[in-house]
Amino acid sequence: MQLQLDLTLPRPPSETTVVVAMSGGVDSSVAAARLVAAGYRVKGVMLRLWVDPFEDIAQARENRCCTFEAVSDAQRIAEQLGIPFRLIDVSQLFRDTVVDYFIQEYTSGRTPNPCLVCNRRIRFDYMLSYAQKELSADFLATGHYARLRRTPAGVQLLRGRDVRKDQSYVLSLIPQERLQRLTFPVGHLTKPEVRALARRYGLQVAEKSESQDLCFTSDYRTFLQHWATTAIRPGPILDLSGQELGQHRGLPFYTIGQRRGLGLSAPERLFVIDLDVQHNALIVGPADALGGDYLRATAINWLRQPPAAPLQITAKIRYKSADHPATVIPLTETSAEVRFDAPLRDITPGQAVVFYQEEQCLGGGIIESI
């Protein structure tokens, strides 16, 4: 298998220090191995983000963030590659920045994506700054499946070549000035190619299974029961006419579009239409009452000059959703309306809407309202 090292770094390898964010997984390990093989000065860093005191040992092993096994795997890979390695405790910063945000959004009737906040505030803010100041890094590398194209007008964020693994959605809120200091050494590869390279490099994590859940919990409902006890109160389930159909367990346990787990018996399938936080009521209705054809987004991060007029794009409203044709209508530099060509059922406040033109990610923002 002949593969070019597509790092898009503007300086010669022997003069460039790259810090690799290591997780103990196959993607970041191969990213580090490729950089070493190409002759860069490489250093490894791992962030200790979270240890949940409420999780038992079995749950903690499933929760892939910062386990003893993950730390040991990352250390072994660094030793094998002959690069220095540091483990940095940022658990308090993570708690204050990501976990508190996660809890606040759920208790406000919204459905957050904590990866967006973690990438923007922890990995590509704190960690990038640490790499530059403490380790004299020129660039920070991660194992994300995305690509960068450096142009005179700035760095373009492109989808990863493996469409099933593409992570440009969760990178869309990273400001342009930080993108200029990043590189994604596996972004132009597919997952099978990454595993093949891991075997070629003799990395022990070549067959390591992938993580699926939130990095800081394997069960968000149990997590909220422990960390947001005062905000979880049973209340009424109402239909669109206001008739009470049953009782919910607590609004943070539900999300717009949810059908299963409502505990209702009805002649037609019912879905969560809205979370009425003011009255602690869960609003349900038929499928045709879901969603709409436009949304309002705030906190928009443009990776290019903000448009001065309506712009034709495709948009993703969840990490794993398909692209949907739409028009972005700018309101301010950081807010806009997004009008879709066809109605969508699962537009959810708190999630991100991310803008694309073919393979290029133009940026994204947080869905404020439907």
Tokens of 200: 């070629």
266 in the same domain as 138: no
Residue 296 shares a structural domain with residue 275:
no
Residue among 172, 188, 187, 178 at smallest CA distance from 362: 172
- Is 222 contained in some domain? no
Q: Is residue 220 part of a domain?
A: no
255 located within any domain: yes
Last residue of a domain, one of 257, 288, 319: 288
Do 250 and 181 belong together in one domain? no
| Residues with a known catalytic role | 118, 215
**Tokens 């597509």 belong to residue:** 6
Mean model confidence pLDDT for the chain:
89
Whether residue 92 is found in the same domain as residue 132: yes
Asked whether residue 127 is assigned to any structural domain, the reply reads: yes
- Which pLDDT tens digit goes with each residue over 7-45? 557 677 888 999 999 999 999 999 999 999 999 999 999
Same domain assignment for residues 106 and 185: yes
Q: Does the residue 310 lie in any domain?
A: yes
What type of residue is 225? Answer: Q
Closest Cα to residue 95, out of 71, 69, 66?
66
The pLDDT assigned to 3 comes to 35
Residues 271 and 145 in one domain: no
- Say if CB 120 and CB 75 are below 8 A apart: no
185 shares its domain with 150: yes
Rounded to an integer, what is the distance from CA 175 to the centroid of its chain? Answer: 15
**Containing domain of residue 312, as a range?**
292-369
- Residue that the structure tokens 């920045």 belong to: 97
Q: How far apart are CA 322 and CA 125, in angstroms?
A: 29
Give the list of residues 6+ apart from residue 20 with CB closer than 8 angstroms, or none: 28, 31, 32, 35, 42, 43, 44, 45, 83, 140, 141, 142
Q: Which residues of the chain have pLDDT under 50?
A: 1-5, 57-63
271 and 321: one domain?
Answer: no
Indicate which CATH number applies to the domain containing 342: 2.40.30.10
Of 288, 305, 322, the residue at which a domain comes to its end is 288
292 touches 353 (CB < 8 A): no
Residue 177 maps to which CATH number?
3.40.50.620
Q: Is the same domain home to 265 and 314?
A: no
Q: For residue 278, tell me if it sits in a domain.
A: yes
CATH number at residue 246: 2.30.30.280
Element (H, E) at 364: strand 360-369
Distances (CA, A) of 308 to 68, 279, 298, 338: 50, 40, 16, 14
Q: Are residues 280 and 179 in the same domain?
A: no
Q: Specify whether 269 is located in the same domain as 303.
A: no
> Do 301 and 278 sit in the same domain of this protein?
no
pLDDT tens readout for residues 297-312: 999 999 999 999 999 9
Amino acid at 268: E
Q: Among 10, 3, 8, 69, which residue's Cα sits nearest to residue 30?
A: 3
Ramachandran sector of residue 218 (left: φ over 0; alpha: ψ -120 to 50; beta: rest): alpha
Report yes or no on 282 lying in a domain.
yes
Q: Which residues contact 274 (CB under 8 A, 6 or more apart)?
A: 256, 283
How many domains does the chain divide into? 3
Does 109 fall in a domain?
Answer: yes
Domain boundary among 288, 305, 320: 288
Q: What is the pTM of this model?
A: 0.89
- Region of 147 please: left (phi>0), alpha (psi -120 to 50) or beta: beta
